[in-house]
Amino acid sequence: MFRRSIRVMIADDHHLFRKGLRGLLEQIRNVEVVGEADNGQELILRTMETSPDIILTDIDMPLMDGITAAREITRRKPGTGIIVLTAFNKEEPILRTLEAGALGYVLKSADNEEIAEAISTVLQHKPYFCREVTEKLTEIVSRNYQLPPDADLCFSEREKEIIRLICREFTSKEIAYSLKLSKRTVEGHRTRIMDKVGAKSIAGIITYAFRSGICFR
């Protein structure tokens, strides 16, 4: 499935769960577990030491939770792919996770095939939400969990098209092909979109899009 070794860090305060997750990851081709942490502070420290490609972290941990750690890692090592692996399927932690810069959200009930898919997707800097989380995000929008109706008036129609494609997990290259634009033009639009919504990552754009309803129009 993977073309090169992928360095993965695990963070969870339950030793037995970490042990089981490590065993599961070791069954995935070309995945190397480079370290473990049992709290958010240790996760940041180990990330700075080992520079993993992907982090799989729980939310509820002692000393510092996974969302706070994700926010700090995104600031200090913005290329790191962060996937939250948790039992929580509630809107507040989902939205806080996206706002913190994580690109993936998977429930602990996931099997090794789904975890492998999440790693592969986030490694490409694309967002990955498990089916239950996607349904929850759709539910949030359907309940009018939105910004004011005129909140997206500052976007051009082209920018809205690009936002919708980002929500569909298109890369800049794929967006360029779909809209018959150059990749450089798409990346310029994406940068301006991030500036407008105050986002530091693609996850920030997606969070805004779900809240405003742009991705469903």
Q: What is the b/e burial string over 65-75, where b = at least 16 CB atoms within 10 angstroms of the residue's CB?
A: bbbbbbbbbbe
CA distances from 52 to 79, 120, 150, 167, 214 (A): 10, 14, 41, 25, 33
To the nearest 5 percent, what fractions of the chain are helix, strand and coil?
A: 55, 15, 35
| Torsion of the alpha carbons at 173, 179, 183 and 187, rounded to the nearest 10 | -100
Q: What is the pLDDT of residue 141?
A: 57
Q: For the domain 6-140, what is the CATH code?
A: 3.40.50.2300
Q: In what order do the strands lie in the sheet with 128-129?
A: 31-37, 6-11, 54-57, 81-86, 104-107, 128-129
Q: What is the pLDDT of residue 146?
A: 47
- Tell me the three state secondary structure of residue 213: coil
Q: What end-to-end distance do the CA atoms of the chain give, in Å?
A: 34
**Domain segments of the chain as ranges:** 6-140, 146-216
Tokens coding 42: 């240790």
The third-level CATH classification (topology) of the domain covering 146-216 is Arc Repressor Mutant, subunit A (1.10.10)
- Tell me the three state secondary structure of residue 135: helix
Read off the pLDDT of residues 83-103 as tens digits, 9 standing for 90 and up.
999 998 888 888 888 888 898
**Do 6-140 and 146-216 come out as alike in CATH topology?**
no
Q: What is the pLDDT of residue 205?
A: 79
For the question of whether the overall pTM of this predicted structure is more than 0.85, the answer is no
Confidence of residue 140 (pLDDT cuts 50, 70, 90): low
pLDDT for 130 beyond 60: yes
| Torsion of the alpha carbons at 136, 170, 128 and 192, rounded to the nearest 10 | -80
Pairwise CA distance, residues 115 & 107, whole Å: 9
Tokens coding 149: 């109706």
Partnered with residue 195 across adjacent β-strands are none
Pairwise CA distance, residues 130 & 217, whole Å: 22
